[in-house]
Structure 1
Amino acid sequence: MFRRAITIALLTCFGLPAAAQCVGSSYAEQLSPAEQAELRRVTDAIPYAQGTLWTATRDSDVITIVGTVHIYDPRLEPLYAQIEENVLSADLVLLEATPAEEAELEQMVITQPDLLFITEGPTLPELLDAETWELIADASTQRGIPGFMAAKMQPWYLSLILSIPPCATQDMLTGRLGLDHMIMAGAEDAGVPMQALESVTTMFDLFTNNPVDEQIDMLMVNLTSPEVQQQLFVSMLDSYFAQEVGALWEMTRIAMAEVPGIDPSTAEDVFAEMEQSLLVTRNHNWMPVITDAVAAHDNLVIAVGAAHLMGEDGILRLLENDGWDLTPFP
């Protein structure tokens, strides 16, 4: 169970997380009128800020593009029904990770514990002051991670765990899976080939190359209170199903900058680094994979975390720049 939770946590944190049990008031409702106006202004300037389902066409080639969430929500059922025929009739489905990569990741956690855990040198209680460690240990316990285990986690990995609010933990632990896994299951049942857009080690390379102090900064900005995290997840869900992907991403930026005890400029730097690593770099690295897949297949489905679709460096803009015509899915 714990190994499965680790796998899902890793995959969840690289898209737009969602959780059916995160209900209640929305973070968007807590924003002042001025903040809401600024959010709309920034969002309006983001290319492809709206829309989670798209069709790309170029000559005789067709790509169905799906912005996914990685943890289950019942509203995903009708969403999958909209695209099921496209999945079942595809020549190839491209995903961030296929079942093969997920199995490989679970095995790596067993055989290479130093990927996620501190196996030598100072542990987190020794790297942090007592008050900060107490906050982190409490936040970890609320998510079902004992303090002694959290103490030995690599700071970048623990920061991903803490970015998931306690209300989402149960879905994660029980393996209730999101739209990407619905697509995988449909493709597998229909015998449609699946291919990963990147190596499973990409996730580790993104963070383990960062200095420890930068990893700790990332850890600190994810110490948002559980109440704010839950409000943020409610807003994420509302925004996702309203197809307001850009607003969702920008609300995350605002929330990070408001973490108590963290300098706003530090939070902005961490967010910018995460955006570059998690979205921009990976999007550009995926394009040659997509190009090769198009050369070999006429009818593709691409299913990736919804945040990968938006922006000047988003998948949609990169495809547009490559000569594809994009239309919202009917």
Structure 2
Amino acid sequence: MKKFASLFLSLALLFSFVTNIQAEAKPISVWIDGEQVQLGENQPTMEKGTILVPAKTVLQKLDFQVNWDQKNKVISGKKQGLTLLFQIDNLGAMANETEIGLLAAPKVVKGTVYIPLRTVSEAAGYEITWNKEQRSVSLKENEPSKGFLWKVEKDGSTVYLLGSIHIANKAMYPLRSEIQKAYDASDYLVVEADISKMNDEKVQKQVLDLSVLKDNTTLKDHISADSYKKLGEILKENGLPENTLDTYKPWSVSSTVDYLSSAKEGYDSGIGIDAHFLQQSLENKKPILELESIEYQLNMFNNFSDKLQEEMLKGSIENYFAEVSGIEDLTKMWVTGNEEQLLELTKSASSNAELNKALLTDRNAPMVEKITGYLNDTTKKTYFVVVGAAHMLGENGIVPLLEKKGFTVVRQ
């Protein structure tokens, strides 16, 4: 009996070991929207917990156009304004202008390029899940964002109005197809300011010239001691000296703190709605028009009163330390296309008379005049206009002002 028990135990251990080996040897399967991707001999591999998949097959399955640059060892995929770049043995990928760190580098296996699946899926707007028991990875396309899109027509001329959020996270993509189709059908992209020029030397000089204090004062002289102390904590937390921004005006510092807040929560102006379409226009050489300019917007902030600038910075600091940031609600509002929330947001901006006048009232009227010009264009062109969503509604919003001029504005 003891001999039999010992044999049984040995067999149990042996078969348990074999079962584990078989489980580990089981190929990883890839599923996209419930359909298994047939990969043939080019099976996925796992490195450092990262699943690598044959790039061309998977990218094409996700509707990307694929290109291989043999000289630079770079494989790229393009899809509706999104360009992904992966370089062999490089731990940094690019999603449009944004660099993404990788845990495992792309590589070539038996002549086939392999890339990290998670990076591709999340950038393309898919949710990815891993089933350890089945060794299967599933991609499910996120619900498209509804956004805020209107259409105005006159005698063959068409203007699409898209209310934008200037910073975004990956959850805001993909956009619903109606938005992309409206852009594709347009002859021009129109933005508030062409932010693709921000790295131009001339623009950088303007930014610095307007941002820096020139009256022999420092930031300490323009804000409260408490705000300055909290600002120092923020800078220190981000690995910067506490006096880094001492020579800058409060409005400029406020912008910097807002950037740090958004980056901390995974938001990036590089994938904002306007940046998304600017990238497409630059690649497709679609003409870009501006309702304003970077210089105009810089001067607008620079002309804010000292009191308003200090209030802005104080608000930015409070937002940085807040447990729940309003940016999540802003994103949800845009994703769901909630017009009531957008109107409420617009009303809240009007509570400060100076801010409301500078940000909305003084800007919306000139924007409407330019849009009216597009609609009166006898060449019958189509314009895709992307401006901040807060400009659209409210008493002095672009939509009501166009309606007062006799145009019919239809929500899409």
State whether TM-score is above 0.5.
Answer: yes
Query: Where does 1:250-329 land on structure 2 (aligned, <5 Å)?
Result: 250=344, 271-296=352-377, 297-329=380-412
Matched AA of 1:89: A
Corresponding position of 2:310? 216
CA distance in structure 1 between the partners assigned to 2:235 and 2:347 by the alignment: 22
Matched, 1:193 2:287: yes
CA distance in structure 2 between the partners assigned to 1:100 and 1:327 by the alignment: 30
CA distance in structure 2 between the partners assigned to 1:130 and 1:99 by the alignment: 34
Corresponding position of 1:118? 213
SS at match of 1:56: strand
CA distance in structure 1 between the partners assigned to 2:193 and 2:329 by the alignment: 26
Counterparts in 2 of 1:251 and 1:88: CA distance versus 1, 3 Å: closer
SS at match of 1:90: coil
8 Å CA contact retained: 2:163, 2:388: yes
Corresponding position of 1:236? 330
Moved more, 192-201 or 221-230: 221-230
Deviation, 1:130, is 3.2
Deviation, 1:310, is 1.2
Query: Where does 1:37-52 land on structure 2 (aligned, <5 Å)?
Result: 52=148
RMSD (CA atoms): 3.2
Counterparts in 2 of 1:103 and 1:225: CA distance versus 1, 3 Å: closer
Structure 2 residue runs without a partner (length 5+): 1-97, 99-121, 123-145
Matched AA of 1:158: V
**Which protein is bigger by CA-based radius of gyration?**
2
8 Å CA contact retained: 2:345, 2:390: no
Q: Deviations over 1:109-155 (max 9, x none)?
A: 33662311224411012344433310222234445654222222111
| TM-score (norm: length of structure 2) | 0.57
Identity level (%) = 22
CA distance in structure 1 between the partners assigned to 2:359 and 2:402 by the alignment: 18
Counterparts in 2 of 1:139 and 1:192: CA distance versus 1, 3 Å: same
SS at match of 1:224: helix
Matched AA of 1:324: F
Higher helix share: 1
Deviation, 1:253, is 7.6
Counterparts in 2 of 1:165 and 1:245: CA distance versus 1, 3 Å: farther
Corresponding residue pairs, total: 267
Q: Deviations over 1:149-176 (max 9, x none)?
A: 2222111111233345635347567x64
Structure 1 residue runs without a partner (length 5+): 1-7, 9-19, 21-49, 257-267
Deviation, 1:197, is 0.5
**Relative contact order, higher structure (CA 8 A, sep 6+):** 1
Determine which of 178, 183, 197 is the counterpart of 1:82. Answer: 178
Counterparts in 2 of 1:247 and 1:85: CA distance versus 1, 3 Å: closer
Matched AA of 2:216: G
CA distance in structure 2 between the partners assigned to 1:167 and 1:278 by the alignment: 21
Higher strand share: 2
Query: Where does 1:152-191 land on structure 2 (aligned, <5 Å)?
Result: 152-164=247-259, 166-169=261-264, 176-191=270-285
CA distance in structure 2 between the partners assigned to 1:274 and 1:186 by the alignment: 32
Matched AA of 1:97: A
CA distance in structure 2 between the partners assigned to 1:144 and 1:177 by the alignment: 25
CA distance in structure 2 between the partners assigned to 1:280 and 1:248 by the alignment: 16
Matched, 1:96 2:196: no
Corresponding position of 1:34? none
Deviation, 1:303, is 0.7
4+ residue runs over 6 A deviation: none
